[in-house]
Amino acid sequence: MLPERSDHLLQSLLENPAFRSWAQGQCPADDAVWKQWALAHENGSEILREAAGIARAVPVRDAHLTDEYINQRISDALQIARRQEQRHENRKRDAFFPMFLSRWNVAASLLIVAGLCFAIFRIYHHTKPLATAPGMENSRSPFIEVSNMERAFKYVQLPDGSSVVLHRSGTLKYPQAFNGTKREVYLTGEAFFEVTKNPDQPFFVYAGEVTAKVHGTSFSIKAIADEKEITVAVKTGKVSVFTEKASPALLLTCNQQATFERAHAKLVRSALKSPVLLNIPIENQEFTYSETPAAEVFEALGKAYGVNIAFDRPSLAHCSITATLGDEPLENKLKWLCTILEARYTIAQDSITITGNPCN
C-alpha cells in the first residue's frame, strides 16, 4: 500500500489522459516519458505500477466515475468470481490441498478486483473531475498547468513560441509539445494571447463552454467559472468563436468581441472602441518606436508582458531603435530587436537576459 502522501500523485496519474492511454498499451512510444516521471518522484516506480494496474483493470472513459458505475463493476467482478468457484466445485477434486488452494485463488482474485474498484472510487468520488475539452483525451503529450495566484499578470511562453499573459487567479493547461494537427490549450480565468501563425496547425483555446479558433492574432478571453458571461475580445487578426450550446459560430475581427450568456446559452457579437477587456497594459499598447532608446523599449516590453528584462545598460546606452513590432509574440519581438542591435537573448521562465556589443 502506498503512503498517504503519495495519493495525490496516484490521483494525478489516473486523471491524466496521456498516462491512461500509455498504461492501456496505446502509446508505447511514451515509455521513456513515464520512466523519467518515476525517477523524478519519491516512490515513483511503485506509484506508476499501481496506477498502471488500476488503469488496465478498470478502464476510465470519463473523467468522473459515478457510484452506479463502481457498484456495477464490483457486481460484475463478484459474478465472475462466483462462476469460477462453481466450476471448481463441479470438478469435485479428491485432493483436499489443491481444492483448498483453488478456493483461496478465487477469494484472492475477488479481493484484488474489489480493491481496485474501491481505489478508483476513493480517488474519483472525492475529487473534482478534470475538465476534458475536445482533444484533451487524445493528446499523447503530458500537460503542463500554470496558475497565477500572486501577480497582477504573468507571462507564459507556449511550445510554439506563442505568448500568453495570464491574469491573476487564472490557470492555463497546455501540452509539452503541440503534436498532431491542432494546437490546443485550456483556460480558466482571464488571459491575453499572441498566437504564432501556422495555417497547417490551427490554434484552439477552450475556455468553459466557449471555444476560440485562432487564425494567427492577438486577443483576450475572460472565462471566470462563477460569472454569468464568457467574453472574447480581438485586438488584431481574426478569431472564430463557437460553443456547443449556441449556433452559428461568430467570426470576430479587429475591435470586435463575442459574449456568451450562460443563462440563455446565447452568443452575441458587438463592436468595441478598443479591445481592452482585462485592463492590462498589453491590450492597448502599441509597439511602434522611432529612434527610441533601447532601454526604454526593453522597459516597455517588460511592463507589457510582466517579465523582468535584464540588459547591460552601459553597453546599450547609445543604442536606439526604429521599428514597428505589431502583434507578434514576445519571442518574435525579441528576435527583431536583437537583429537590429546585433545582440542575443535568453529566456528562462519569466526572466529575459539580453547581451550584445556597444553601439557606436
| Whether residue 116 is found in the same domain as residue 222 | no
pLDDT per position as a tens digit, 214-243 = 977 899 999 998 899 999 999 999 999 999
Residue 210 shares a structural domain with residue 238: yes
262 domain-assigned: yes
Q: In Å, how far are 202, 250, 273, 288, 329 from 234, measured between CA atoms?
A: 17, 12, 11, 19, 15
Same domain, residue pair 192 and 295: no
Residues 295 and 239 in one domain: no
Of 95, 125, 155, at which residue does a domain stop? Answer: 125
pLDDT score of 148: 92
Number of domains in the chain: 3
Confidence band of 296 (pLDDT split at 50, 70, 90): very high
Q: What percent of the chain has pLDDT over 90?
A: 38
| The three cell numbers locating residue 310 | 535584464
% the chain with pLDDT above 70: 70
Tell me what the mean pLDDT of segment 274-285 comes to.
Answer: 84
Q: Which domain holds residue 263?
A: 136-271
The strands making up 308-311's β-sheet, listed across from edge to edge, are 308-311, 351-356, 343-348
Are 191 and 305 found together in one domain? no
For residue 202, the domain's CATH number is 2.60.120.1440
Q: Is residue 171 part of a domain?
A: yes
148 and 262 both lie in a single domain? yes
Q: What is the mean pLDDT of residues 286-301?
A: 91
The mean pLDDT of 32-41, rounded to a whole number, is: 74
**Same structural domain, 142 and 120:** no
Distances in Å between the Cα of 183 and the Cα atoms of 166, 197, 222, 280, 358 are: 18, 11, 20, 25, 40
Question: Which of the four pLDDT bands, split at 50, 70 and 90, describes residue 280?
Answer: confident
Task: Report yes or no: 13 and 49 within 8 Å, Cβ to Cβ.
Answer: no
223 and 326 in a single domain? The answer is no
Measured in degrees and rounded to the nearest 5, phi and psi for residue 161 equal: 95, -5
pLDDT at 7: 63
Answer with the residue of higher pLDDT: 104 or 211.
211
| Domain contains 245 | yes
Domain termination site, one of 271, 294, 321: 271
Residue with cell 466445485: 89
Higher-pLDDT residue of 213 and 96 is: 213
Domain assignment present for residue 130? The answer is: no
> Which residue, 262, 324, 265, is CA-closest to 292?
324
Q: Which position has the higher pLDDT, 51 or 174?
A: 174
pLDDT value for 244: 83
Give dist(CA 15, CA 32) in Å, integer.
20
Q: Which of 240, 271, 302 is the last residue before a domain boundary?
A: 271
Name the band, by pLDDT with cuts 50, 70 and 90, for residue 103. very low
Max avg pLDDT among 107-121, 182-196, 238-252, 344-358: 182-196
**What local confidence, expressed as pLDDT, does residue 270 receive?**
94
Whether residue 356 contacts residue 342, with contact meaning beta carbons closer than 8 Å, is answered with: yes
- Whether 350 is in a domain gets the answer yes
| Confidence check: pLDDT of 67 > 50 | no
Residue 89: pLDDT band by 50, 70, 90 thresholds?
low
Task: Report the SS3 class of residue 118.
Answer: helix
Mean pLDDT of all residues in 291-320: 89
Domain annotation covers residue 276: no
Question: Same structural domain for residues 264 and 338?
Answer: no
Residues 50, 22: one domain?
yes
188 shares a domain with 112: no
- Give the contacts of 336 (CB within 8 A, at least 6 positions apart): 323, 325, 328
pLDDT of residue 353 exceeding 60: yes
- Asked if residue 279 belongs to a domain, the reply is no
Q: Give the mean pLDDT of 47-73.
A: 59
Instruction: Look up residue 139 and give its three cell numbers.
Output: 493528446
Instruction: Provide the mean pLDDT of the chain.
Output: 77
pLDDT at 328 over 60: yes
Query: Domain check: are 57 and 164 in the same one?
Result: no
Residue-level pLDDT at 357: 82
Cα angle 159, 347, 218; round to 5: 55
Torsion-angle region of residue 151: left (phi > 0), alpha (psi -120 to 50) or beta? beta
Is 280 among the domain residues?
no
Give me the pLDDT at residue 104, please: 42
Assess whether pLDDT exceeds 80 at residue 208. Answer: yes
What pLDDT does 278 receive?
86
pLDDT for the residue 173: 96
**pTM beyond 0.85:** no
Residue 220 DSSP SS3:
strand
Nearest alpha-carbon partner for 311 in 290, 293, 327: 293
Q: What is the CATH number of the domain that holds 323?
A: 3.55.50.30
pLDDT in tens, 3-23: 544 566 776 677 666 677 678
Higher pLDDT, 61 or 345: 345
